[in-house]
């Protein structure tokens, strides 16, 4: 993996941080991006610039992505892939979910991911041997979680994007896949789990026959999809949910 660069979008905590850690352990080089870059610096104090470049970026500022992608291409000579783990979730009744909120959620969860794939699929922006992109969707796009209509819609759009974009990019040896995740223990999920009473928490846990996920459970699959071992896999959304969607009610 020496000299093969992956863009880690949303690398400062949670699933993005776990995946960055695993990529570095397996010998990849990583461009790690988020708003809080200090958290990334503190996490990897001993990793040199030849293996880890840290780029501060707010993915809500979609207008800045083009310049940032050019900078990353200059720094790396082109990426071998990207995983997009940046995301925001707001739980809000539909009647109070105004267009402004929809735009905010879609900018971070959806439009920035589309734009980065567009920019890194241009000739010279990705490795001559091809590239792999992985997006993180959610089971919220498939089941009726209260207050999650906008979040679910922003993730459903990622899944809808995958098949056509993958077919279009296959000729460039670019693969594109998504993971639809159940609940994984991170800051994002703990924000709503912490607000639950004991009964609600028990009901949630009972819905996961293999228990709630840990960031490493997802990181392993992302790194597999980024690697050459997954060279024949594209255009798919894989469900990772600890058996949640197939449990007996």
Ligand X SMILES: NC(=O)c1ccc[n+]([C@@H]2O[C@H](COP(=O)([O-])OP(=O)(O)OC[C@H]3O[C@@H](n4cnc5c(N)ncnc54)[C@H](OP(=O)(O)O)[C@@H]3O)[C@@H](O)[C@H]2O)c1
Q: How far is the CB of 21 from ligand X (least distance, A)?
A: 13
Q: How far is the CB of 173 from ligand X (least distance, A)?
A: 26
Q: Contact 56/29 with Cβ under 8 angstroms?
A: no
Q: State which residue, 118 or 192, has the beta carbon closest to ligand X.
A: 192
Determine which residue in the list 125, 136, 176, 225 makes contact with ligand X, applying CB under 6 A.
Answer: 136
User: Within 13 Å, how many C-alpha atoms sit on residue 191's CB side?
Assistant: 8
Using the rule CB under 6 A, give the single segment among 46-54, 83-91, 125-133, 165-173 that binds ligand X: 83-91
How many whole angstroms separate alpha carbon 121 and alpha carbon 191? 35
| Beta-carbon contacts of residue 82 (< 8 Å; ≥ 6 apart) | 6, 7, 8, 9, 116, 117, 120, 131, 133, 134
Q: How far is the CB of 128 from ligand X (least distance, A)?
A: 29
Is residue 178 involved in binding ligand X (CB under 6 A)? no
| 52-56: strand order across its sheet | 52-56, 29-34, 5-9, 81-84, 131-138, 174-181, 237-240
| Beta-carbon contacts of residue 106 (< 8 Å; ≥ 6 apart) | 150, 153, 154, 157
Handedness of CA 107, 113, 14, 79 (dihedral sign): negative
Q: State which residue, 72 or 127, has the beta carbon closest to ligand X.
A: 72
Determine which residue in the list 189, 227, 234, 237 makes contact with ligand X, applying CB under 6 A.
Answer: 189
Q: How far is the CB of 195 from ligand X (least distance, A)?
A: 14
Is residue 35 involved in binding ligand X (CB under 6 A)? yes
# binding residues, ligand X (CB under 6 A): 29
Q: State which residue, 92 or 170, has the beta carbon closest to ligand X.
A: 92
Is residue 108 involved in binding ligand X (CB under 6 A)? yes
Determine which residue in the list 5, 6, 7, 15 makes contact with ligand X, applying CB under 6 A.
Answer: 15
Contacts with ligand X, residue ranges (CB under 6 A): 10-16, 34-36, 57-60, 85-89, 108, 136, 138, 181, 183-184, 186-189
């Amino acid at each position: 993996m020496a000299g093969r660069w992956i863009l880690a979008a949303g690398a400062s905590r949670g699933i993005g941080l776990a995946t960055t850690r695993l990529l570095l352990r397996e010998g990849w080089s990583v461009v790690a991006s988020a708003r809080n870059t200090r958290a990334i610096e503190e996490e990897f104090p001993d990793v040199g610039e030849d293996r880890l470049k840290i780029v501060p970026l707010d993915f809500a500022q979609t207008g800045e992505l083009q310049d940032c992608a050019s900078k990353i291409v200059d720094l790396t000579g082109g990426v071998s892939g990207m995983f997009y783990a940046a995301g925001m979730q707001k739980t809000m009744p539909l009647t109070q979910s105004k267009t402004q909120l929809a735009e905010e959620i879609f900018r971070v969860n959806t439009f920035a991911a589309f734009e980065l794939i567009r920019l890194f699929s241009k000739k010279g922006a990705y490795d001559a041997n091809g590239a792999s992109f992985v997006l993180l969707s959610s089971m919220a796009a498939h089941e009726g979680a209260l207050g999650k209509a906008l979040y679910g819609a922003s993730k459903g759009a990622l899944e809808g994007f995958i098949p056509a974009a993958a077919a279009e990019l296959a000729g460039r040896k670019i693969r594109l896949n998504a993971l639809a995740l159940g609940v994984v223990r991170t800051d994002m999920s703990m924000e709503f789990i912490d607000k639950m009473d004991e009964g609600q928490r028990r009901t949630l846990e009972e819905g996961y026959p293999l228990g709630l996920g840990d960031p490493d459970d997802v990181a392993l699959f992302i790194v597999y999809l980024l690697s050459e071992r997954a060279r024949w896999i594209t255009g798919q959304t894989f469900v990772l949910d600890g058996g949640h969607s197939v449990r007996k009610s």
